[in-house]
Amino acid sequence: MASHSPTEIRLQDLTALKQKADVFLLPETGKKSLTGIGNTYSPFKSRGLDFQEVRVYQPGDDIRQIDWHITAKYGKPFTKLYTEEKERTLFFVVDLRSNMYFATHGDFKAIMAARLTAFMASIADHQKDRIGYCILTDTGIISCDQPDMNLLPQLLHDLTHVNKRKQSAGDFTTLLQSIPQLISAGSFIFIFSDFSNWTETQSKLLIPLSEKNTILLGLLYDTLEVEIPMDTLPFSNGREIITITPQDKKIHKQFKTEWQQHQNYLRKTAHKYDWGFLPMATDSDYITTLCQFCFGEASHATGN
C-alpha cells in the first residue's frame, strides 16, 4: 500500500522522497543516447568527469585509473585524476492542469508529476546543482525567478500550494518560450505531463533547446486512456453521460488508435531530436522506472 496520498499533493509526501534520492548521483549532460527500458529512449550517460592530470600512483588511488601507457613508458605506476562536473541545472516543467488529476488505478497523474519532480530535485539538491522550474496550471504558470542551488524548499512549497500562488498568464507554448531565458547550456530539462493538446508548435520550441541541453519527455498516463475495458461503462464530461458497451467496437477501436497515435508521435519526435522518452502508468512503480531510465539501476528507489 502506498505510504503517500494518491490524490493529494502533500508537502510531507514530497519531503519524504529526499531520503530515497540521496543515494543517487546524476548522470552527465552528454548528448550520446542509449537504449532505455524496452523501446524507450534515454539520452543519459554516467556521471560526468573532466580529466585533470596524470601523476605518480599513491597508496589509496583507484587502480582502475592507472594509465598503463605512461606506466609502461616510465617503469612505475601513474594514475589519472578527474574532477566531477559542477553546477549543472535541472529544470522541471510540471503539468498540474485539471486533466492531470485523474487515475483509475494508482496515483493521479498530477501526484506522479509532483513526486517525480521532487525526487529528481532532491538528488540535485544533494549534489549542490541548480534547480529551476515552471508549473503549468489551468489558470497560468508558476515559475522560479532564476535557477538556484537553494530552490528545493520553494519548489516543494509551490507544488503543494498551486491554488494559493500568484500565477502569470500563459499556456504550454508560453511556458516553453520562457525556458531559454532561465537556463544555461548543459542543463537537464524534465517535462512531466500527459501531453494532452500537445501540438507540433510546442515540439518545435524544444528543438533549439535540445541542441545544447538534455531533454526528457515523461509521458504520464492511466490504463483507461490506453484502451477502454470490454465492459458496460458510463462516461461523463460533467454535463452529459454516455454509456459504452462491448458492442461499441468502433468506439473501442478509435479510442485505442488515438492513444497509439499520440504515444507514437511523442516517441518518434523524441527519437528524431535525441530527447529522452519515458511512458509511465499511474499504477506502476514509476520512481523506480525513472531511476532505471536515468541511472541504469533502481535498487534504492523502491516504494512508491
Please report the DSSP string for 247-281 in residue order. T-HHHHHHHHHHHHHHHHHHHHHHHHTT-EEEEEE
Q: Is the dihedral of CA 195, 2, 141, 273 positive or negative?
A: negative
Query: What is the reported pLDDT for 52?
Result: 57
**At a CB cut-off of 8 Å and minimum separation 6, what does 59 contact?**
none
Query: pTM, whole model, 2 decimals?
Result: 0.80
| Domain ranges in the chain with CATH number 3.40.50.410 | 11-45+87-222+264-295
Tens place of pLDDT for every residue, the chain, 304 residues? 468 999 999 999 999 999 888 777 666 554 433 344 444 555 554 434 455 577 888 887 777 778 888 888 888 888 876 544 556 799 999 999 999 999 999 999 999 999 999 999 999 998 889 999 999 999 999 999 999 999 999 999 999 999 887 788 889 999 999 999 999 888 899 999 999 999 999 999 999 999 888 999 999 999 988 887 777 777 766 788 878 787 777 877 888 899 999 999 999 999 999 899 999 999 999 999 998 888 775 444 444 5
Q: C-alpha grid cell for residue 254?
A: 478509435
**Which of these CATH numbers, 3.40.50.10320, 3.40.605.10, 1.20.1730.10, 3.40.50.410, describes 11-45+87-222+264-295?**
3.40.50.410
Distances (CA, A) of 252 to 187, 195, 257: 41, 21, 9
What distance separates the 2 farthest-apart alpha carbons in the chain? 83
Query: What is the reported pLDDT for 34?
Result: 37
